Amino acid sequence: MKLRHPFRASLAALALGVLAASPALADDPKFDSGDTAWMLTSTALVLLMTIPGLALFYGGMVRKKNVLATVMQSFAITCLVTVLWVVIGYSLAFTEGKPFFGDTLGAYVGGLSQIMLNGMGIGSVNPLAKTIPESVYMTYQMTFAIITPALICGAFADRMKFSALLWFMGLWSVLVYSPVAHWVWGPDGFLNDAGVLDYAGGTVVHINAGIAGLVCALVMGKRAGLGSENLAPHNLVLSLIGASLLWVGWFGFNAGSAVAANANAGMAMAATQIATAAAGLAWMFVEWMARGKPSVLGIISGAVAGLVAITPASGFVMPGGALAIGVAAGIGCYWSATTLKHMFGYDDSLDAFGVHGVGGIIGAILTGVFAREAVNPAVPANPATNTAAVAAKMGLLDGNAGQILTQCYGVACTLVYSAIATFVILKVIDLAIGLRVEKEVERDGLDLALHGEIVP
Amino acid sequence: MKLRHPFRASLAALALGVLAASPALADDPKFDSGDTAWMLTSTALVLLMTIPGLALFYGGMVRKKNVLATVMQSFAITCLVTVLWVVIGYSLAFTEGKPFFGDTLGAYVGGLSQIMLNGMGIGSVNPLAKTIPESVYMTYQMTFAIITPALICGAFADRMKFSALLWFMGLWSVLVYSPVAHWVWGPDGFLNDAGVLDYAGGTVVHINAGIAGLVCALVMGKRAGLGSENLAPHNLVLSLIGASLLWVGWFGFNAGSAVAANANAGMAMAATQIATAAAGLAWMFVEWMARGKPSVLGIISGAVAGLVAITPASGFVMPGGALAIGVAAGIGCYWSATTLKHMFGYDDSLDAFGVHGVGGIIGAILTGVFAREAVNPAVPANPATNTAAVAAKMGLLDGNAGQILTQCYGVACTLVYSAIATFVILKVIDLAIGLRVEKEVERDGLDLALHGEIVP
Amino acid sequence: MKLRHPFRASLAALALGVLAASPALADDPKFDSGDTAWMLTSTALVLLMTIPGLALFYGGMVRKKNVLATVMQSFAITCLVTVLWVVIGYSLAFTEGKPFFGDTLGAYVGGLSQIMLNGMGIGSVNPLAKTIPESVYMTYQMTFAIITPALICGAFADRMKFSALLWFMGLWSVLVYSPVAHWVWGPDGFLNDAGVLDYAGGTVVHINAGIAGLVCALVMGKRAGLGSENLAPHNLVLSLIGASLLWVGWFGFNAGSAVAANANAGMAMAATQIATAAAGLAWMFVEWMARGKPSVLGIISGAVAGLVAITPASGFVMPGGALAIGVAAGIGCYWSATTLKHMFGYDDSLDAFGVHGVGGIIGAILTGVFAREAVNPAVPANPATNTAAVAAKMGLLDGNAGQILTQCYGVACTLVYSAIATFVILKVIDLAIGLRVEKEVERDGLDLALHGEIVP
Amino acid sequence: MKIVMAIIKPFKLDEVRDALTAIGVHGLTVTEVKGFGRQKGHTEIYRGAEYAVNFLPKLKIEVAVSSDQTDKVVDAIASAAKTGQIGDGKIFVFGIDRAVRIRTGETDAVAL
Amino acid sequence: MKIVMAIIKPFKLDEVRDALTAIGVHGLTVTEVKGFGRQKGHTEIYRGAEYAVNFLPKLKIEVAVSSDQTDKVVDAIASAAKTGQIGDGKIFVFGIDRAVRIRTGETDAVAL
Amino acid sequence: MKIVMAIIKPFKLDEVRDALTAIGVHGLTVTEVKGFGRQKGHTEIYRGAEYAVNFLPKLKIEVAVSSDQTDKVVDAIASAAKTGQIGDGKIFVFGIDRAVRIRTGETDAVAL
Ligand SMILES: Nc1ncnc2c1ncn2[C@@H]1O[C@H](COP(=O)(O)OP(=O)(O)O)[C@@H](O)[C@H]1O
Ligand SMILES: Nc1ncnc2c1ncn2[C@@H]1O[C@H](COP(=O)(O)OP(=O)(O)O)[C@@H](O)[C@H]1O
Ligand SMILES: Nc1ncnc2c1ncn2[C@@H]1O[C@H](COP(=O)(O)OP(=O)(O)O)[C@@H](O)[C@H]1O
């Protein structure tokens, strides 16, 4: 008797009064095909966010002479991080660190037991996602590892060497992304233990990438021509396609973070949709009032800000909370992209920090306000949050004001570590091979100089 | 003992001879993870239809100076309708109206019990979709509410004020879409009770949007330059991308309307694919014969016509029926877009009525011909159709000629109500703030004047 | 007792102590909703590969005057093959041939029992996919039948008559694709019986299309201007979007070939991701060394080469094997597209053979090296491979060196039959209506001459 | 022979073409150009950065005519292209030594 | 010095360039233009609406040459650009007062 | 009156415009062109096929000025557009018979 669905089989067996397990039962004993279906889909959706989503979102915003170089960045990062994640990233993020690195260092980074995906096979499971095959969980998490460095590219658009970019992204992925992911989601991550709530990666992905982007912008300096030349986006249709695919793909990012096709995933999807729409409208209306016109770049930037801000909160909040977070993100990120940036004078070219950093912080803190036990009752979807702190009340609305402080703690740790590590990596690369392209290359466009191609 | 998968848990419990159920069992007792996975996916697919699908389909067809304004319309409607759906739309469409509005009015619109999604939570279920969380069903239906008004935009391309558009779409969504959705799909909708068959929204979405588009075209008048200037599509590559994403996304629209991952969804998907292909070929060959060349705009228009026409029929017909509906839609919509329009002289610029109105009517009526009990036997996938009329024979082919009349009744009710309501809303907005942009704005392009941006 | 959710049902039954099954239970007795959800999704993903994925991948690579004609090819093929698949293709590929055509011919092609999808209904099942409805399996396989001929278009870009293309693709689909699919996946296919491993279609889809492309390139001759004019891609942003959608959609192609949402699908998805990334990097670095610059066209071509090569291997190999196959494909296809082609002087314009043919052969042979029983233990995901040969050790790494020969046998059969049949079909069409457009049409661009439209 | 070269607003092209056809001029060449002049450009705003766009889209029309037709052509263009608003453009006239029709090799007046 | 300005069919560019190089002309400037003339345009059809496209894509070539080279240049262009079919285009010649090479400040013949 | 026509490197446009404004020239027309000359193009590589791109993007600037201003304008452009590297471009000057401002019908010097 060969059976594909051992569960059902054994049920049948029980029903029939046959107590001896069938031999095929050993096969994949614990996987839920519905959960697996949703996670396979979610993986595709999150990959769609980076290629072509983010590639186009950024690609449309640069000048025509740099569009190929810009979309190439997202694509090459996708390839590079995939390989690094297989080699070491997954192990550093999602295995226990203490057995390898001792109790001190081991609290901050995973171990080396799954280097080269050692041990991942047809029957293996990651304890963080018990109802789906490990291969699915590994690939799903890979897509998060891919998009995070790709987000940073917005900060230094139009001026980084491609070789330097590959070195930077490779090192950053291993030295920054994997450890921070481990802190928040890893089996013995210290922010996880501290009770930080981060449903789908507001801290790990967005704040992390945002602050790294800010450091890049500061270290690399401004684009030539900023303030004197017209650096207007060359094709906002591309950016709108990108923003739309980010939105659609984000269902995989947020609702996928339930790691199951259940009601928590549903609530996360609903919250995502609501916050995004609210943020898009908020940015649009504020801009309309402040500048006289609602722009395409405005509404899509607002939508992305909403997606960012709802990320940590998505599986924890009610629709009303999602609406509030969306409005706050739309207004807050409008302010950061149009005012804060000019106030301090850094050239965060496509607002990697302005949208992902600031939006991520707004979302992380408001998660501490709006997270409700009712949405994520006994077992939080993301096992990372499955801690004592969480099992009790969640955020301010549940009467747990302290959660806001916990959230700030998570934000601060990420900001500090990511900023310092990014700075060090950049400086090392700058010394070794230089970060920035020649002045003539910047003037004539990266497409031709770096890649030998143009869009006529 | 806290468990994520109560079923499995209890199986284990049984296996262990532990007969007392764990308390966690009460959690989400009725959700099917496979159905939920498919409906999460379908929601993403239908969103993809509007952004970037429809945005690009329409955006490619206008002149370059209006492309940003056109894609902005779809994006802004997505944001606006999302929020309105949360606030009141879902309640008006999908709750019982009689308790709130009395037996007369209450037969035509839902109630206010779920304003602000009141009552939607981790464990809630909409009786129309018993195997998935309500949050998923609500968001899935939201994506239908989004695309319907966005379709109307094709009728008045290149000439509507953005502010007027927001007012129009907001009012139309609440005053037209929600009631009509209630008639056909609502728990006590009168067209539902009358036995009208509309599997995935031919009436609610396409006829509704199509006739509203026609009224818009009539009220707003023609584009400046029609007949004298070259108004040719500026980039049919964008339109082809859009049509392709509409096609792919429509699997979520039609097969998703099974609200389950079952054989009925499979039949709906197959029918969708077949009718779309047949309609694309039909339009192409008719145009080839009539005009001498098969155009890109022709084949993609035909495909969309096929998608529209199969929508009400998708889960009710056999492959042969789908083929026939596709061919009829391809030819019928070719005629309406190239002949009917010129005959009456209205400027339905991108054929919102010509494709969605006419295609919707063809599909609705032919559903009365080709619907087979064999495809949707005892329990229709869409609970809306779960009525006495349906439980028996379905369409003409099943020997139930009367179904054609029933279908016509549904079409007529929708045409009349939507036309009148659209007209009134337009007139009110025209008086209040004006519908149409200034002549200079129209001449110089909406992109710069309304949004302050251009695609150079 | 027929149960939809036997588990839940019987659990409930047991829990309640109610032993009589509810009447609704009789519905669709054997389908797994999770598997069905994933296959519905996979179908959408594979369709996305062709429209707009492949359309854009190729469309961006041609000159601007041919972009509409190029994207039209993919779209029209999608429509045409859909209808042909319904009429006869599915039957020829996926039913038993011997009862119809006798033991000799019947070994090489399926029968006619399912012409017009005869017998496909709400409750039907294809024995090759027992846990999902036949309608889903039929449509899923249809998307493979669609993309295969569309791939060929890369070989003769910029010079084929549209009418000739429709005839060619229609005949090829019925006379070449369906039989070859039957050999490898059909219930009594001879390559299946010979133990050829082809998880997701490396032989059937890629080698088949690749060699047909080569024959097309040889028969039709070179593009006018090759070697003297600048035939550079007109917009690699489009190609990058296309490559990205191919990548994302390929999850449906490879992981969908598990025909279930299980651990084998997960392994196939992981292998796909890894090989693709490795191949993209490999092509990029080789080109960087050889030519001095890493190009966008290079990395996306490499990624597609990786996708092609991992296709036959995806559900059989460990991550290390996927990495090796990816690197081999990236380097091998770089060589074939840049050296081999020039060596022999054929004009395989967009490298249909260079990438799909060569990449497919590399993948097919390396499957014989890296296929592991551990990945696909007792019941291979693709029932086609469920043979004695497979049940034992798989590839060289499992100690079964003979598998490499078996793989070569499969490759050779496909190459020979597809080449000859393609040649004959081309010659017949050339005699009847001519294959190639007039010189002036080629010079002025196909868009205007064939379709009456341009992208200004 | 002269070339009459005019810079006009883009949406005036059809009117100008018709006016020229009406006076028997059946050939002209059009170029998309950007003009800088008294007419003020517009401002585009992107995430708070304002860009003053001073170069406005115009069309340049070149018509080769025999010397005696020049005035008629200048007048036809001037009245067809006029809106009376700033930015209407300019007309310049300069002499040419030769004109050749490539197809036939005909030269001068008959080549126009 | 003269400027030889030619309107040609786009696909003739390479031949014209080669013909000029062959007679020692090593500089020229090319502009994409739309031409209106005897050559009939085409009709595009979009959902039943027909648009007559009368402006056809052409290239304008400008070559500054010393006066004595003018005839050679005109002839070279005329024969390289010729297909003999309607729409082949025109060549116009007009005099220039000065020429300057920006890089060096050289003027006149040596600047070309 | 003269037209000063200059072929310059694209990124020099703003400097040239500023230089002209500084000497009181408030109108000009810009065209995107491709230039062929001493400056070597680049090579693009696509899947092993190399394409020599010999036509480089340049801008053509046309400024109509009164004859006495010509030298000043030529000098202003020449110095603003200069990088000293090959490919900086050329300036050509030729006379015009008439100038008309379409908006007002004003002619000659006052029309510029
Ligand atoms: N001196 C000039 N030389 C060349 N072109 C000019 C000159 N002055 C103006 N133009 C062109 O004419 C257009 C209109 O000029 P502008 O000064 O804006 O308005 P008006 O034509 O009403 O005087 C400009 O955009 C420019 O293209
Ligand atoms: N009078 C003219 N002034 C300027 N350009 C002209 C004139 N007549 C023709 N042209 C240009 O020459 C091109 C070819 O002219 P056309 O009359 O079509 O054919 P042919 O060159 O064979 O006489 C036109 O498209 C246009 O660009
Ligand atoms: N004889 C010419 N006629 C017209 N344009 C020319 C001529 N020679 C050069 N040009 C233009 O000037 C540009 C620069 O010329 P080039 O010879 O490359 O460098 P340089 O200006 O340093 O001598 C060319 O790209 C071309 O546009």
User: Could you report the per-residue pLDDT of E41-67, keeping only the tens digit for each?
Assistant: 888 778 877 788 889 999 999 999 999
Q: Pairing mode, if any, of strands D56-65 and E42-46?
A: unpaired
Structure tokens belonging to residue B285 = 């060959």
Structure tokens at A413: 């740790």
pLDDT at C132 over 90: yes
Burial B345-383 (b: 16+ CB within 10 A, else e): ebbbbbbbbbbbbbbbbbbbbbbbbbbbbbbbbeebbbb
Stretch (H or E) spanning F64? strand F56-65
3-state secondary structure of D88: coil
Burial label, B436 (beta-carbon count in 10 A; 0-12, 13-18, 19+): middle
Where residue B387 falls among pLDDT bands split at 50, 70, 90? very low
Chains in contact with E, where contact requires at least 3 CB pairs less than 8 Å apart: B, C, D, F
F49 touches C: beta carbon within 8 Å = yes
3 state DSSP class of A279: helix
| Chosen from E42, E45, E46, E47 to mutate, greatest number of chain B CBs within 10 A | E47
**Which pLDDT value is given to residue B25?**
35
Identify the residue among D90, D93, D96 best suited for mutation to test binding to F, counting F beta carbons within 10 A and taking the highest.
D90
What is the per-residue pLDDT for B245?
Answer: 98
E32 DSSP β-pair partners:
E59
Instruction: Give me the pLDDT at residue C387, please.
Output: 45
Question: Degrees (nearest 5) of the Cα angle A51, A53, A57?
Answer: 125
What is the model's pLDDT at position C14? 34
Of C285, D19, C167, B269, the residue nearest A163 (C-alpha): C285
Chain mean position to CA B40: 17
Mean pLDDT of C26-51: 88
Q: Could you tell me the distance, in angstroms and rounded to a whole number, from the CA of residue B313 to the centre of ligand 1?
A: 61
Distance CA F47, CA C286 (A): 12
Q: Compute the nearest-CA separation of D44 from chain E (Å).
A: 27
Q: One-letter amino acid identity for C357? A: G
Residue F31 with chain D: CB contacts under 8 Å: 31-34, 60
Residue nearest to atom 7 of ligand 2 (CA): D27
pLDDT-derived band at C392, boundaries 50, 70, 90: low
> Where is pLDDT greater, at B192 or C268?
C268
CB neighbours (10 Å) of residue D68? Answer: 10
Would you state the structure tokens that stand for residue B379, as one six-digit string?
């329990």
Ligand 1 closest atom vs CA D56:
25
* Closest C-alpha to C309, from C288, C289, C286, C334: C334
Mean pLDDT of A210-227: 96
Q: Contact, C83 vs B275, CB < 8 A?
A: no
The tokens describing A118, both together, are 């050692």
Range name among A342-346, C83-87, C254-258, E58-62 with the lowest pLDDT average: A342-346
Backbone angles phi, psi at F39, to 5 degrees: -60, 130
| Residues comprising chain C, all counted | 456
**H or E segment at F2?**
strand F2-8
What is the pLDDT, as a whole number, of residue B392? 54
Confidence bin at B227 (pLDDT 50/70/90):
confident
Q: What is the pLDDT of residue C188?
A: 81
Structure ipTM = 0.94
Touch test B–A: 3 Cβ pairs or more under 8 Å: yes
pLDDT, residue C9, reads 35
* B residues 300-359 lying closer than 8 A (beta carbon) to C: 300, 303, 318-320, 323
Q: Which of B230, B298, B337 is facing E53, going by the closest CB pair?
A: B230
User: In chain B, whose CA is at the least distance from the CA of C138?
Assistant: B270
Which helix (H) or strand (E) is B306 found in, with range? helix B296-310
How many angstroms separate the Cα of C317 from the Cα of each of B197, B269, C313, C326, C453? 48, 32, 6, 12, 47
B346 alpha carbon to ligand 1 midpoint, in Å? 40
Is residue C415 within 8 Å of residue C353, measured between CB atoms? Answer: no
pLDDT recorded at residue B5: 35
Q: Using alpha carbons, select from C371, C251, C398, C374 the residue that is nearest to residue A121.
A: C374
Burial C299-310 (b: 16+ CB within 10 A, else e): bbbbbbbbbbbb
Measured in angstroms, the CA of B232 and the nearest CA of chain E are apart by: 7
Kindly report, residue by residue over F32-83, the tens digit of the pLDDT.
Answer: 999 999 998 888 778 877 788 889 999 999 999 999 999 999 999 999 999 9
What confidence category does residue C293 fall into, taking pLDDT thresholds of 50, 70 and 90?
A: very high
CB contact under 8 A, C229 and E42: no
Could you tell me how far CA B227 lies from the centroid of its own chain? 31
Do C369 and C323 touch, CB atoms closer than 8 A? Answer: no
How high is the pLDDT of residue B17? Answer: 34
- Tell me which of C124 and A188 has the higher pLDDT: C124
Residue A106, pLDDT score: 85
Q: What is the mean pLDDT of residues B125-141?
A: 96
Lining ligand 2 with CB less than 6 A are D 27-29, 62-64, 101-103, 112; E 7, 35-39, 56, 58, 86-90
- Asked if omega into C52 is within 30° of 0 (cis), the reply is yes
pLDDT digits (tens, 9 = 90+) for E64-75: 999 999 999 999
Selected residue with higher pLDDT from C13 and B58 = B58
Q: Which-ligand-closest: CA of F65?
A: 1
To test ligand 3's pocket by mutation, which of F33, F36, F54 has the most ligand atoms within 8 angstroms of CB?
Answer: F36
Chain E residue with CA closest to F67: the answer is E97
Answer whether C291 touches F (CB < 8 Å). Answer: yes
**Cβ–Cβ under 8 Å, residues C59 and C65:** no
**Do residues A176 and A421 lie in contact, with contact meaning Cβ atoms separated by under 8 Å?**
yes
What tokens does C141 get?
A: 């396989």
Centroid of ligand 3 to alpha carbon of D58 (angstroms): 25
Nearest to F2 by CA among F91, F106, F105, F101: F91
Q: How far apart are CA E89 and CA B269, in angstroms?
A: 56
If you compute the radius of gyration of chain E from its CA atoms, what whole number of angstroms results?
17
Specify the pLDDT at position A392: 54
User: Nearest 5°: phi and psi at C118?
Assistant: -45, 130
Q: What is the pLDDT of residue D46?
A: 84
What is the three-class DSSP state of C75? helix
Q: How far is the CA of E107 from the centre of ligand 3 (A)?
A: 13
pLDDT at E36 over 80: yes
Residue D33 tokens read as: 């150009």
Q: Are C148 and C177 in contact (CB under 8 A)?
A: yes
D56 pocket-lining for ligand 1 (C-beta < 6 Å) = yes
pLDDT-derived band at A18 (thresholds 50, 70, 90) equals very low
Residue D17 to chain E, least CA–CA distance (Å):
9
pLDDT of C380 higher than 70:
no
**pLDDT higher than threshold 80 for residue B386:** no
CB atoms within 10 A of CB D41: 16
Interface test with F, best of E8, E58, E67, E103 (most F CBs within 10 A): E103
Gap between the Cα atoms of F7 and E103, Å rounded: 12
Residue A436 contacts residue A160 (beta carbons within 8 Å): yes
Is residue B274 pLDDT above 70, yes or no?
yes
In the predicted structure, residue B269 carries a pLDDT above the cut 80: yes
Give the pLDDT score at B4: 32
Residue A83: which residues within 8 A CB-CB, separation 6 or more? C274, C277, C278, C281, C323
